[in-house]
Amino acid sequence: MDMLETLKKITQEVNAVSDLATALSIIVKRVKSAMVTHVASVYLLDQQQNCYRLMATEGLNQAAVGKVTLEYAQGLVGQVGLREEPINLENAADHPSYRYFEETGEERYHAFLGVPIMHRRKLLGVLVVQQEESRCFDQSEEAFLVTLSAQLAGVIAHAEVTGLITQLSGSQKVAKCSGIPGSAGIAIGVAVVHSPGVDLSAIPKRMVEAIEEEEMRFLAALQMVRDDIAQAERNFGQSLPKEEGALFDVYLRMLDQHALGGEIVLKIREGYWAQSALAEIINTHIHNFNLLDDPYLKERAMDVKELGIRLLTKLGVSSQIERKYPERTILVGEEVTAALLMEVPRECLVGVVSVRGSANSHLAIVARSMGIPTVVGALDLPVLQLEGRELIVDGYRGEIISNPNREMRQQYEQMVLRDQSLQAELQQVRDQEAVMLGGHKIGLWLNTGLVTDASLLLDQSVEGVGLYRTEMAFMLRDRFPSEKEQEVIYRRQLEAFAPRPVNMRTLDIGGDKVLSYFPIYEENPFLGWRGIRVTLDHPEIFMVQIRAMLKASVGLNNLRIMLPMISTVFEVEEALRLIHRSFVEVSEEGFDIVMPSVGAMIEVPAAVYQILEIATRVDFISVGTNDLTQYMLAVDRNNPRVANLYHSYHPAVLKALQIIINAARAVGKPSSVCGEMAGDPVGALLLVAMGYDALSMSAAHLLKVKWLLRKISFAQAQSILREVLAMDNAQVIHSHLELLLAKQGLDGLLGPM
Ligand code: PEP
Ligand code: MG
Q: What b/e string do you get for 402-433 counting C-beta neighbours within 10 Å, with b at 16 or more?
A: bbbeeeeeeebeeeeeeeeeeeeeeeebeeee
What 3 state SS string does 332-368 have? EECCCCHHHHCCCCCCCEEEEEECCCCCCCHHHHHHH
**pLDDT score of 746:** 67
| CA of residue 625 to ligand 2 center, whole Å | 7
In whole angstroms, give the CA distance from residue 613 to residue 611. Answer: 6
Q: What is the 3-state secondary structure (H, E, C) of 201-252?
A: HHCCCCECCCHHHHHHHHHHHHHHHHHHHHHHHHHHHHHCCHHHHHHHHHHH
| Res 618: pLDDT | 98
Please report the atom of ligand 1 found closest to the CA of residue 469.
9
Mean pLDDT, residues 212-241 taken together = 80
Best residue among 508, 632, 648 to mutate for probing ligand 1, ranked by most atoms within 8 Å of CB: 508
Strands (E), 395-524: 399-402, 443-448, 462-469, 502-505
Pocket of ligand 1 from Cβ distances under 6 Å: 365, 467, 469, 508, 603, 624-627, 674-675
Helix/strand/coil for 171: coil
Is 674 annotated as catalytic? yes
Q: Whose CA is nearest to atom 1 of ligand 1?
A: 624
In CATH, what class is 3-173?
Answer: alpha beta
Structure confidence at residue 188 (pLDDT): 94
Q: Report the nearest atom of ligand 1 relative to the CA of 675.
A: 3
User: What is the chain's length?
Assistant: 753
pLDDT value of position 698: 86
Q: Taking the CB of residue 108, how many other CB atoms lie within 10 A of it?
A: 11
Selected catalytic residue, list 285, 362, 647, 650: 362
Catalytic-role residue among 285, 674, 701, 734? 674
Backbone φ and ψ of 422, nearest 5°: -65, -40
682 CA → ligand 2 middle, Å: 20
- Euclidean distance between CA atoms 449 and 502, whole angstroms: 11
Strands (E) located in 61-138 = 69-71, 87-89, 111-119, 122-131
Point out the ligand 1 atom lying closest to the alpha carbon of residue 630: 2
CA-nearest residue, atom 6 of ligand 1: 624
Fold matches, 178-194+321-402 and 200-314 = no
Q: Are 255 and 225 in contact (CB under 8 A)?
A: yes
> What is the distance, to the nearest Å, from the Cα of residue 442 to the centroid of all Cα atoms in its chain?
33
| Mean of per-residue pLDDT scores for the chain | 87
DSSP state of 622: E
- DSSP lists the bridge partners of residue 375 as 181, 353
* Three-point CA angle 520, 524, 359, nearest 5°: 100
Distance (Å, whole) CA 227 – CA 305: 18
Let me know if 362 is a catalytic residue. yes
Which of 61-70, 129-138, 196-205, 624-633 shows the lowest mean pLDDT across its residues?
196-205
In a mutational test of the pocket of ligand 1, which residue from 468, 657, 674 has the highest number of ligand atoms less than 8 Å from its CB?
674
Cβ–Cβ under 8 Å, residues 550 and 598: no
- What is the 448 CA–ligand 1 centroid distance (Å)? 12
The number of the ligand 1 atom at minimal distance from the alpha carbon of 467 is 5
Fold of 178-194+321-402: Glucose Oxidase; domain 1 (3.50.30)
- Check residue 105 and give its pLDDT: 77
Say if residue 368's pLDDT is above 50: yes
Cis peptide before 499 (omega within 30 of 0): yes
- Please tell me the predicted confidence (pLDDT) of residue 349: 94
| Cα 525 to middle of ligand 1, angstroms | 15
Task: Provide, rounded to the nearest whole percent, the portion of the chain with pLDDT above 90.
Answer: 48
CA 144 to chain centre: 31
Q: Which amino acid is at 715?
A: A
**Residue of 48 and 645 predicted with greater confidence:** 645
Q: Which CATH number is 200-314 given? A: 1.10.274.10
| Distance from Cα 626 to the centre of ligand 1, integer Å | 5
Domain assignments of the chain as residue spans, ordered by start: 3-173, 178-194+321-402, 200-314
CA–CA dist 470, 519 (Å, integer): 18
Q: Which of 149-163, 175-189, 448-462 has the lowest mean pLDDT?
A: 448-462
Q: How far apart are CA 302 and CA 289, in angstroms?
A: 9
pLDDT of residue 753: 44
Sheet of 39-46, strands arranged across: 69-71, 51-58, 39-46, 122-131, 111-119, 87-89
